[in-house]
Structure 1
Amino acid sequence: MSFDPDHIEDFLEYPFFIKWVKDPNSQSNQYWEKWISEHPDKRELFLEAQTLAKALRPKENNQVDSAKLRAGLDSLIAKNNERGGQERSTFPGKKKQAFLTIGGSIAASILLAACLLLSYSWFGNKEAAPLAEEAKVLVRSVPAGMKKTFVLPDSTQVTLNADSEIRYSSDFAINRKIHLRGEAFFDVKKDPKHPFTIQSGALTTVVLGTSFGVKAYPAGDFSHVAVLSGLVKVRTDNGIEAELKPDEAGFYEVETGTLRKGSYDYESLLGWKDKVLKFKNASYESLFYELSKWYDVQFIYENGIPEGGDYSGRYQDQSLKNVLDGISYATDLEFTLSGKKVSVRVNSKPNK
């Protein structure tokens, strides 16, 4: 937004601000809510201007009630002096009464507003709309071992994978920005006026209306964005950009900061939302990391994490025991499951 005031006078001379106070509606309320969220450093100035404008309302016949005007100004001055640690001033009316400055521009603004109100009829009979509450951060999370689907205020549907979290502002209808930790699948409600943005680690994903998956766990070496429908733009913190079409994915390597685009296997990247757990040439470290999130268990290694690993396998809606039995059958690893702990040891016998 281009409006960037430095003084209260700037608000009082801004037609759209005056129109909002005079006759608020959903569109103008939305405008000022967004303006406040984008200019948090101007919030106090905004509140001063709104308070002043409301305090100086004229009566129905468009004549200023001088007694109420004087009392309102006196009250405003007193409140500002309490904050500024200055002496309270009085409203000018009798000779030799001083109208002291209040933080410089505030008193000048009050005089300006009083003069303008005496000369013009700014306001009608409606009360000014109250300032919307400051936007709050909302959190939706899913613990390890679970998956859950949420519907956002704009009707976008989000499915969170295990041990994942999203954060977004309470004014999401006009500020469609998500912070993601972990993995999620988004089916975004189309709204050309309000692009949908996801911040996930070093990746920023921007869409208008599409479905896609994003993975960016803090401990992971790789992040990805896999598009199922629509068009997605991905940008890294170091300025690399790529546009992704359906059946394309962007793969980001954390260590090198590189981004590459290519095709992807649906079940490997998005099968989790259909309860499909698929590994392709996975190292043991990444294998156990995925299983720990999926089943909410802790792996304990007798001699450290086994090196190497080149494991491939597919499981659909299987118990942890069945998955561990499958891995054990195909590798030289043995597992002991006890509650939420899994002991891992390397079998000295040759692979089966």
Structure 2
Amino acid sequence: MDFNPEILHRYFKGTYSHSDYKNLKAFWENEPYRPMLKKHLEEHWERYFEESQSGQKVDYLLRKIHRQIKAEEKLQKRVNFINVFQRAAAILIVPFVLAFLSILYLQQKTDSPKLAYAEIQCPFGVRTKFELPDGSSGFLNSGSTLRFPTLFTGQRNVSLSGEAYFNVVSDEAHPFVVKTPNLNVKVLGTEFNVIAYEGDASEEVILNKGRVDVLSAKGDLYCALQPNQSMTFNISSGTMWQKNVEAHQYIGWTEGKLVFRHENMQQVAQRLGRWYNAEVEIQDPEILDYVFRATFVDEPLDEVLKLLTYTAPISYETKLRETTQDNIYKKKKVILKLDKKREAAFK
């Protein structure tokens, strides 16, 4: 069994895939390969911090990582709090657990004061899988929050801010409803994607299998979607439109794929920022009208940016990461610019 150290690098960058997790887990479970894994972690430490690290300290971190991997395996059986370690611990542990999960139990402010809720918060730069009390499951994308009752009674209501893919267990007596700030997505049993990030101009629902009813926040029916159809709701105008799509292009992110579907530069910058936990700034408005269609699989940010420069007259500059007064690193900053020397070639 050969181990590719690039798997570790993708973990540290937050661009790993589910297969990366399975490969790394397999090495943890194979005792003879532990020294090799430790060696790669020491090399990463020295590359990242530009300082050597004692074997004793690395062993300590390895033990913590191992405990977190075991905790990951139990997420489907119980609600689990995950500690956020300082500096290197955060860098090493976050990829293994897929996300910082903040599970908060809140009392319902209605006539049922004993009903408790759980909330999963997925930070920027990572994705996480979840399972709900009724057996429904799915994935939560970067920068998203999902809130749901710890026990469903009657209609199965969940609240979403961000993006999530749902695989809903069928129950005709108890509909499943995803509530966003502007929409209610009602289903019985199906697979679909919902995009409702705070601050976006629109919300979107894409159906992969089954059927969904998309309603207003007040419960008025907007439309019923069939497989490979989407509905987009413009928040400012209150208008909506429905169209046929290739649903698999919208759910590739659950497999670690970054897919652009004829999107303009503003949308590209926004999605890159969420995907890689970076601040992507557009310096020249002239590049906003360029559109992109591409699929990237487990590519680091620099490689994606290089490939984008081949398809439009843009250049980019990456700023050195700054630190706060508490020695916490800020997000990586990327500035996208117009490459005037190549502009004429793209007209």
Aligned-pair CA distance for 1:37? 7.1
Instruction: Answer yes or no: is the 8 Å Cα contact 1:267–1:278 preserved in 2.
Output: no
Q: CA RMSD in A?
A: 2.3
Aligned-pair CA distance for 1:266? 2.7
**Partner of 2:135: helix, strand, or coil?**
coil
**For 1:253-290, what per-residue CA distance to the aligned partner results, in whole angstroms no more than 9, with x for missing partners?**
22221222221123442221122222233221111000
The equivalent residue for 1:325 is: 306
Q: Which deviates further from its counterpart, 318-327 or 244-253? A: 244-253
**Partner of 2:340: helix, strand, or coil?**
coil
Aligned-pair CA distance for 1:182? 0.5
User: What amino acid is the match of 1:249?
Assistant: S
The equivalent residue for 2:335 is: 343
The equivalent residue for 1:117 is: none
The equivalent residue for 1:89 is: none
Instruction: Answer yes or no: is the 8 Å Cα contact 2:165–2:192 preserved in 1.
Output: yes
Unaligned runs of 5+ in 1: 1-35, 44-132
Aligned-pair CA distance for 1:226? 1.1
Please say if 1:226 is aligned against 2:226: no
**Partner of 1:242: helix, strand, or coil?**
strand
The equivalent residue for 1:292 is: 273
**For 1:107-159, what per-residue CA distance to the aligned partner results, in whole angstroms no more than 9, with x for missing partners?**
xxxxxxxxxxxxxxxxxxxxxxxxxx711221012111101101111111020
Q: How does 1:142-153 map to 2 (within 5 A)?
A: 142-153=122-133
Instruction: Answer yes or no: is the 8 Å Cα contact 1:284–1:305 preserved in 2.
Output: no
Give the Cα–Cα distance (whole angstroms) in 2 for the partners of residues 305 and 136 of structure 1. 50
Q: Which deviates further from its counterpart, 300-309 or 156-165? A: 300-309
Q: How does 1:1-352 map to 2 (within 5 A)?
A: 40=111, 134-237=114-217, 239-303=220-284, 306-337=287-318, 338-339=320-321, 340-351=332-343
**For 1:87-119, what per-residue CA distance to the aligned partner results, in whole angstroms no more than 9, with x for missing partners?**
xxxxxxxxxxxxxxxxxxxxxxxxxxxxxxxxx
1:302–1:243 Cα change, 3 Å: closer
Give the Cα–Cα distance (whole angstroms) in 1 for the partners of residues 230 and 123 of structure 2. 26
Give the Cα–Cα distance (whole angstroms) in 2 for the partners of residues 219 and 325 of structure 1. 28
Give the Cα–Cα distance (whole angstroms) in 1 for the partners of residues 284 and 204 of structure 2. 32
1:264–1:329 Cα change, 3 Å: same
Normalised by the length of structure 1, the TM-score is 0.59
**Partner of 2:254: helix, strand, or coil?**
helix
User: What amino acid is the match of 1:283?
Assistant: N
Instruction: Answer yes or no: is the 8 Å Cα contact 1:240–1:259 preserved in 2.
Output: no
Normalised by the length of structure 2, the TM-score is 0.60
Instruction: Answer yes or no: is the 8 Å Cα contact 2:108–2:116 preserved in 1.
Output: no
1:244–1:348 Cα change, 3 Å: same
Aligned-pair CA distance for 1:291? 0.5
**For 1:296-339, what per-residue CA distance to the aligned partner results, in whole angstroms no more than 9, with x for missing partners?**
00123445684322222221221111100011111111112244
Give the Cα–Cα distance (whole angstroms) in 1 for the partners of residues 294 and 124 of structure 2. 21
**Partner of 1:251: helix, strand, or coil?**
strand
1:211–1:345 Cα change, 3 Å: same
User: What amino acid is the match of 1:162?
Assistant: S
Give the Cα–Cα distance (whole angstroms) in 2 for the partners of residues 146 and 305 of structure 1. 31
User: What amino acid is the match of 1:188?
Assistant: V
Aligned-pair CA distance for 1:38? 9.7
